[in-house]
Amino acid sequence: MADSSFDIVSKIDRQEVDNALNQTVKEIGHRFDFKGTGASISWSGAGQNVIEIKANSEERAGAALDVFKEKVVKRGLSLKILDAGEPKLSGKEYRMLVSLKEGIDQENAKKISKLIRDEGPKGVKAQIQGEELRVSSKKKDDLQDVIALLKGKDLDIALQFVNYR
């Protein structure tokens, strides 16, 4: 019998992030506490991997980030995809860059692989393939146990489980 397997990936649904961003823009435009603060949020650069928040004070920049985080969660995305920097004074306004984390880097891939080896069921193999991991086993129940194990751990990246076969 062939091995069953699934892939562990860390992907971002760009459309959902864009929807959350647009909802945040709308809310910042309408809310009374943002009036006259020059608060704005937008994509920064051509790569579409960085979001820029601008405001006339550090507190308003942080509040705009909180509104964005709230919208991201409502759209069913993990906050682990966001990597927010500190607000920096640029001229007369504060700018904060929020980068999106996608893909599993080598360090995290090794950590997840070791976790599966040490705490997972016997006979489960994990292979690193670029920015994702392929987990395989003869028993489908073992794969379910690995998914449960990883969901129970507090890793610093958002994980999705795909190509289950």
Q: Give the tens place of pLDDT for each residue, 128-146.
A: 998 889 999 998 888 899 9
Query: Please, are residues 157 and 8 in contact by the beta-carbon 8 Å criterion?
Result: no
pTM here?
A: 0.84
Sketch out the chain's domains with CATH numbers. 4-11+104-162 (3.30.70.860), 14-100 (3.30.70.990)
pLDDT digits (tens, 9 = 90+) for 13-52: 989 999 999 999 999 999 999 998 889 999 987 667 899 9
In DSSP terms, 4 is beta-bridged to 137
Residue 10: strand, helix, or coil: coil
